[in-house]
Amino acid sequence: MTDRASITERLVIEYGLAVRPQWSADLERAVNELARESGMGSRDVEALALKNPGLLRVLAGKLTIDESHFFRHPEQFEILKRHVTPRLDAGQVVTIWSAGCSRGEEPYSIVMSLIDQCGTTALDRLTILASDLSPEAIALATAGVYHPWSGRGLSEARSVRFFRRREGGEIEVSEDIRSRVRFLALSTQEHVRSIPPGSIDAIFFRNVAIYLKSAAFLVLLEQLTLTLRDDGLLFMAPSDPRPPGDLFEASDPESAAVYRKHKRAVIARRRVSQDPSIENVAACEREEAACRAGSQRRQARPDESSRGSAAHTDTESLTPARRDAHDQSGLVNELARAVLRDPDDLIARFNYAQALSRCGARRRALFHANQIIARRRSYVDERRQDDGGWPAPNDV
């Protein structure tokens, strides 16, 4: 396998990137650009990227387009203000995450819009997280200096209040606004693992999904769902694929591409194959298509609500079989959260595998059972080395 093919494999596995029709040209452009910046040859860059995770991350960042501007899709910021203003006015803490923030125009726009709505005193109760795969984009975002074209969505009042113009014509975000955003050079997949469940009020996840495989996109959406509060909002670009109906429901107006976390979000249906072969990726995507089709069939069936009854929200009125299924679904969701919080908790993973098996999800149960065996073997090997080579137990 060539270095170029190995790099593609690593990018697909580690970052979930989709191999698009123009992938070869994009990857060659990214490698050549990195070679010019580093003073190395393109082949040297490829070889080093396979050994250096930081360089591989830089290369992955160059495969995305970081063009944006302030207050892109302005109607979404109006929806955001209506969503979080009551919490801020009530003295509650609000956390907003800009996932895939590029050069920072998006998180800075969030801060400015909320200052317009609630004033600067509300900022003490506001936390803005912003992350991006590209370290270069994060460096530019932290500096907060932009070409005037990035400010084409700014009103005159905001330009005066939140920016200063530099001698070369560039615009610079004020220090007070910059200090309100916490930037991190992390992919969304990496960042989501460190965020406590149910702690985020709104996530901006715009123009990121277009770079991901469909299976990786669905898994990531599931993880984002876990981080949101029960009434949390997901902001996507109008051109992004629509999230599954069992995780999010469209906000009004639907054209704004804003989605509310579903009250009965079904978690832990999806996984990404660690084998990037075309056969396994296709099989995984067929499995996801079957899940979506099943969800659509269930939504299409008439239920108690269509006959004027609220039985679907009242577990007391369910039949014993349906009540057991309802309770089992809640258990699976709780155990999924426990595994996400601590992947090394083998007891939680064992209980999760059992719950999945009882629900009929035997393939996923077997996947987690194999994970338990692999982690247990790794633990035994470490103990054997630490204790001078004691024999492995027969049960492993």
- CATH, range 320-396: 1.25.40
pLDDT above 90 (res 205): yes
Band of pLDDT at residue 108, cut at 50, 70 and 90: very high
The residue type found at 396 is V
Q: For residue 202, give Cα distances in angstroms to 281, 292, 386.
A: 31, 24, 46
Residue 36 CA to residue 43 CA, distance in Å, equals: 12
Name the strands in the sheet holding 126-131, side by side, starting at the edge strand that comes first in the sequence.
181-184, 126-131, 94-99, 200-204, 228-235, 258-261, 248-250
Please report, for the chain, the start and end positions of each structural domain, with discontinuous segments joined by +. 3-61, 74-261, 320-396
Q: What phi and psi values does residue 55 have, to the nearest 5 degrees?
A: -70, -35
Q: Is 42 exposed, middle or buried (0-12, 13-18, 19+ CB in 10 A)?
A: middle
Residue 246 CA to residue 218 CA, distance in Å, equals: 11
Question: Which tens digit of pLDDT belongs to each residue from 138-178?
Answer: 999 999 999 999 998 799 999 999 999 998 889 999 999 99
Residue 339 CA to residue 389 CA, distance in Å, equals: 31
Of residues 356 and 89, the one with the higher pLDDT is 89
The predicted pLDDT at position 344 comes to: 66
Question: Which tens digit of pLDDT belongs to each residue from 255-311?
Answer: 789 999 987 765 544 443 333 333 344 444 444 455 445 545 545 555 443 444 333
pLDDT above 50 (res 40): yes
What is the pLDDT of the chain when averaged over all its residues? Answer: 78
3-state DSSP percent of the chain in helix, strand and coil, to 5: 55, 10, 30
Q: What percent of the chain has pLDDT over 90?
A: 33
Average of per-residue pLDDT across 380-393: 48
pLDDT above 80 (res 324): no
Q: What percent of the chain has pLDDT over 70?
A: 71
CATH number of the domain at 74-261, out of 2.40.128.110, 3.40.50.150, 3.40.50.2000, 1.20.120.430?
A: 3.40.50.150
pLDDT above 60 (res 51): yes
The predicted pLDDT at position 261 comes to: 93
3-state secondary structure of 189: helix
Average of per-residue pLDDT across 168-192: 93
